[in-house]
Chain A
Amino acid sequence: MRLSSLHLVHFRSYASCDLAFPARYNLFTGANGQGKTNLIEAIYYCSALRSFRAHNAQDCIQHGRPFFHLQAEWEDDAVRHDLAIHHAPSGRTIRLDQKPLPSARRHARRFPVLFLSPQDTALAWGAPALRRDWFDRLLSLMKDSYGETLASYEKTLRQRNRELKQGGTGELWNGPLAEAGCRLVNARRSFLAAVRTRFQAAFHRFFEPGEAVGDLAYLIRHDEDRGPEPLDEARFLERLASCAARDRATATTGFGPHKDDFAFLLGDRPVREHASQGQTRLFVYALQWTVHEYLARALGRRPILLVDDIFSDLDEKRTQLLFEGLREAPQVFIASANEVLVRAWLGDYERFEIRGGSAQAMARPVHVLE
């Protein structure tokens, strides 16, 4: 599975741009602010069907234009598939091989990508919502039913909170909330249990022997001391009841997976409080490689890697480890101003020089052979 071409119209800084990707390794290079990351974003969009940074896809439309259009050619088992995305404020259409796309999630599973960026360290030090979103996205990608349960849980939660705001008890919504909530909590916990050993192994590859052990744990807010047994609806309802007075006072719901957290631990201490910047970065890399491996097994195919400038500050041993991981991917796209590293480690790659300047300049990449 690979991406063989990409055509952008009115996407971010690009008025119009045509790219062919015959090679496995691809480097988008050029000075900062020229639109390297925009290309990575466009490729991501062609898999996930949304952006990794814009909550509103409207933000991806080039300034002053009425729409953006992306056309990608995916290759799967030597068969080519045409993806066409047209996005306007009035709505979007997505067609695969000239037919309306039946399921966005199935598409993302068929053409999976994994996005790696220096900003991912926020996963370790950022708010719990960041971690929940990251893991939820991952679990939804692997299983449709998780995404559906999540959507139903979030709707029920909004209904309950609105009823509380209107002066009600919210109590009618407790049953459906507990049912969906337990399924989410238990799915998240079994996922962590399944990747934990792999994560520890990946962690060991990046860290010196004798350094603390990296670990992941699931924290149920207001039920922190819970053992490994699954959360059941009776327990969920009991915890919900114990928050009832506070819930009514604040018109929010105090218990449930929307309050839980994924703990990143060094030994038994939170990474956020006890790890150095370098350790934090390596911790997150280790997690990403674990997920990469896990996705590859779960989907039966390795994701394409989209790398947004992450290599500048690692020592040689760790840089080597990272590039070893990159080499296993079916295709890699790197956006980096630091070409020396890529040349040293990947050797053979296709180079795209990005010169944007004003949006008027067409930002057409010049393909330079060396």
Chain B
Amino acid sequence: MASLFTKVLFALRRIPGVGPTSAERMAFHFLSMKEEDFSFLLGTIRDFREKTKLCPVCGLVSEYSPCRICADPARSERLLCVVKDVQDAFRVEKSRAFKGKYHVLGGLVSPLETVREEDLSIDRLATRVASGVDEILFAFEQSVESEVTIKAVTRRLSAFGDVRYSRLAVGIPSGAGLEHLDAETLKTAVENRTPLTAKGAVKAP
């Protein structure tokens, strides 16, 4: 039988970014915490997990429905930033350069990872476009999967309205995800975003 100490280390180490040393430090910290502090920590985590839901409009995680960004009247409905996942949306949001709303696609087309075009939230995006969108910014990393996803999305949206498309300014190292960019670089990439041609065709730099 594993001791409780071993079990708690095992559980903590399954958290991303937690190695053996920090797991140990956390475990000992729990023992030394005041009862009320510890209850607050556990309660908050439980609350966060129970009350956080996907926003039915954009796909971000939020305790509100729709999320605060979707509900914010100061942010333009007519400018959408399309991201592959929630984490990338948070990265763009942290750069403070984007004043529109988001759309989480749920991945990039990649047969090798069994992600098909149909698995992405393109239909929901089409509904939003039909109700009036001027520009869509694709905040993707530079990769062949990104290009193919952009092509799939723009092709499907072409029937739903006249939209301008843009992508993050080049200068993002190829193959590197947005997690490798600091907020300042991402801000510049958003501000200097590059328009795509009418066909939605994109060329690698």
A and B: real partners? yes
Residues of A within 8 A of B (CB): 148, 152, 155-156, 158-160, 162-163, 165-166, 168, 172-173, 175-176, 179
If the complex has contacts A148-B174, A172-B152, are A163 and B111 also in contact, measured as CB distance less than 8 A?
A: yes
Nearest B-chain residue to A164, judged by Cβ: B111
Known: A148-B174, A152-B144, A172-B152. A179 touches B111 (CB 8 A): no
Q: How far is the CB of A19 from chain B (nearest CB, A)?
A: 38
Asked if residues A155 and B174 are in contact (CB atoms below 8 Å), the reply is no
The docked-state distance in angstroms from the alpha carbon of A159 to that of B116 is 11
Instruction: Please give the distance in Å from A167's CB to the nearest CB on chain B.
Output: 10
Q: How far is the CA of A165 from the CA of B111 in the complex (A)?
A: 9
Question: Which of A152, A162, A175 sits near B201, CB closer than 8 Å?
Answer: A175
Nearest A residue to B155, CB-CB: A172
Taking the closest CB of chain B, its distance from the CB of A165, in whole angstroms, is 8
Partner of B116, one of A152, A166, A179: A166
Please determine whether A173 and B148 come into contact, CB atoms closer than 8 angstroms.
Answer: yes
Interface flags, B191-205, vs A, CB<8A=1, else 0:
000000000010110
* B151 proximal to A (CB < 8 A): yes
Known A-B contacts A172-B109, A179-B204; A159 and B174 likewise in contact (beta carbons under 8 Å): no
Q: How many residues of B contact A (CB 8 A)?
A: 17
Minimal beta-carbon separation of B109 from chain A (angstroms): 7
Mostly, the A contact residues are helix
Task: Find B112's partner among A148, A152, A162, A168 (CB 8 Å cutoff).
Answer: A162
Q: Is the CB of A175 within 8 A of B147?
A: yes
Interface residue from A158, A162, A163, A176 paired with B147 (Cβ < 8 Å): A176
> Given A162-B112, A163-B111, is A172 in contact with B148 using a C-beta cutoff of 8 Å?
yes
B6 at the interface (CB under 8 A from A): no
Query: What are 24 inter-chain pairs, A to B, with CB distance below 8 A?
Result: A148-B174, A152-B144, A155-B144, A156-B144, A159-B112, A159-B144, A159-B145, A159-B148, A160-B111, A162-B111, A166-B111, A166-B114, A166-B116, A168-B111, A172-B117, A172-B148, A172-B152, A173-B144, A173-B148, A175-B147, A175-B201, A176-B147, A176-B148, A179-B203
Instruction: For chain B, residues 154 to 199, give those with C-beta under 8 angstroms from any C-beta of chain A.
Output: 174
- The interface residues of chain B lying within 8 Å CB-to-CB of A159 are 110-112, 144-145, 148
- Pair A172/B151 contact, Cβ less than 8 Å: yes
